[in-house]
Amino acid sequence: MFIHPGIRWPKITFANSLGILYLISSLRKDFGNKFVIEVLEQKLYNLTFEQVASRIAEFKPDLVGFSCTSSEKREMEVISKMVKGIFPECVTVLGGPHAEFFYDDALENSNIDFVVKGEGEKTFSELLNSLLYGNPSVESINGLVFKKNGKIVLNPPRAPIDDLDSIPFPAWEVVDFKRYSKQISMNGEIQPIVWANIFTSRGCPYHCAYCHNIFGKKTRFRSPENVIAEIELLTKKYGVEEIQIIDDIFNLDLVRAKKICDLIIERGIKIRISFPNALRGDIMDKELIQKLKKAGCYWTCYAVESASPRIQKLINKNLDLEKLKKVIEWTHEEGIITRGYFMLGFPSETLEEIESTVKYALESKLSNASFFSVQIYPHSDLMEIAKKIYPDFDFSRFDNFDFHYWDRNPFYSRATGIDLFLIQRRAYRRFFLRFNIIFRALFIYSDDLFVNFVKNELSMLSRQFKEDIFKLFYAKK
């Protein structure tokens, strides 16, 4: 049984569990029909822990594989305890983003037997061979972490898979596309159409200090023909109307990116394309933006993070901010919805630098924006930066942090005493409560997306207003 744990919260977004889907297709390639496989997605179906326990008891798994982010850690811990309580001999394995950063913390949880770091397709298959046949031994499986005699054993890292075309397509047949279409996608909207997330590449050569770095620093690309074959499968067999590309950097190889667009156009594939992730703004060129538009792209996101050159250097992102502003203009001119991602509250960031980031958003041609609070993850370069800047801060308290980007009391606030959550909320109001944003949305959004845009933003602003009034009332009391 594969489990994607998690509970719903107001700003939650959904994505297909691609890690699990790739593992299933790889297992079928390596083992045929040897395994009976069940997928349980807790937050997608809004399942209570009692319902999850019932599903586990009914399926009677020999092995449970968890894939989760750090914001889903608590649910994973509760469910893994359930698994061991119902079936003590069941093997439990953790993979995904949380496993990359918190493999040691995860194994301190006595209900997790193995952790898979990095790409899991080969590591997981080798683990199953080991459990079934004793060959290879777990000590020789690269990318695997486990406990032996009470001590954590961290095997050498798994080498990245160079030939991505050799990996079978995700097991799309297990996906409940209709259920997903009723959820808020990574674009931040509910779009009642059939959509799917895809990776066309893995890895990123940049060294941003906050990065989780699951796929490594060596970028590997699927061939344009392989990507198009999956898109055609999704559109023809599963009725997918939109693909959301979530690579680290889709446009790192401009020639390849343009080829994918050309093939979509040449083959007459009718598909909407969006990028809730996947683009580095300052390496875009105008021709690629134009080709993306012709291929069906209607939504892009550019991760600006900070408008402070000092912070750009500190976090080792080193964006060309002026080039990016021009790229945003080009994208807007093509009639593509353009969203900016901004991170507020980096270690040592001043209020003036935060303000420069908000002003960058306000002065740009962005039609949408997200302002996130910075999270400091253990084992990241940003954690080491934070430790040097705040040597007196008690980093052992990180077990009590909420690892999502709307944390009401994020690291910056705890370290400085500044109410970052209030600054973040004001940034949203300053961005969206402008006539030119509504006017811009009228021309660039389709009718259904414009209605969703207005409803979502009014709902967010109304909720903020009510909370502020509540807070003000009790502050006076």
Per-residue pLDDT at 396: 74
Above 60 in pLDDT, residue 74?
Answer: yes
Per-residue pLDDT at 446: 59
Are 271 and 397 in the same domain? yes
| More reliable by pLDDT, 471 or 147 | 147
**Is 161 within the bounds of a domain?**
no
Are 184 and 142 in the same domain? no
Are 206 and 327 in the same domain? yes
Above 80 in pLDDT, residue 458?
Answer: no
**Is 249 within the bounds of a domain?**
yes
Q: What is the DSSP letter of 35?
A: S
Residues 6 or more apart from 452 whose CB is under 8 A from it?
A: 189, 190, 191
Are 227 and 137 in the same domain? no
Are 291 and 411 in the same domain? yes
Q: What is the DSSP letter of 277?
A: S
**Is 45 within the bounds of a domain?**
yes
Per-residue pLDDT at 467: 57
| Residue 126: CATH number of its domain | 3.40.50.280
The number of CA neighbours under 13 Å toward the Cβ of 134 is: 0
Are 242 and 145 in the same domain? no
Are 76 and 218 in the same domain? no
Mean pLDDT (whole number) for 375-404:
80
Written as one string, the DSSP assignment of 152-217 is EEEPPPPPP-S-GGGSPPP-GGG--HHHHTTSBBTTSSB--S-EEEE-SEE--S---TT---SS-S
Q: What integer best gives the mean pLDDT of the chain?
A: 90
Work out how many domains the chain is built from and give that number. Answer: 2
Mean pLDDT (whole number) for 202-226:
91
Separation CA 420–CA 186 (nearest Å) = 24
**Strand, coil or helix: 380:** coil
**Is 475 within the bounds of a domain?**
no
Above 80 in pLDDT, residue 266?
Answer: yes
Per-residue pLDDT at 477: 46
Q: Which of 336, 353, 335, 343 is nearest to 376 (CA)?
A: 343
Are 350 and 238 in the same domain? yes
Mean pLDDT (whole number) for 422-448:
80
Are 180 and 290 in the same domain? yes
Are 146 and 201 in the same domain? no
Above 80 in pLDDT, residue 287?
Answer: yes
Are 127 and 185 in the same domain? no
| Residue 184: CATH number of its domain | 3.80.30.20
**Is 165 within the bounds of a domain?**
no
Phi, psi torsion values for 54, nearest 5 degrees = -65, -40
Query: What is the value of pTM for the model shown?
Result: 0.91
Mean pLDDT (whole number) for 161-168:
97
By residue range, what is the domain housing residue 112?
2-154
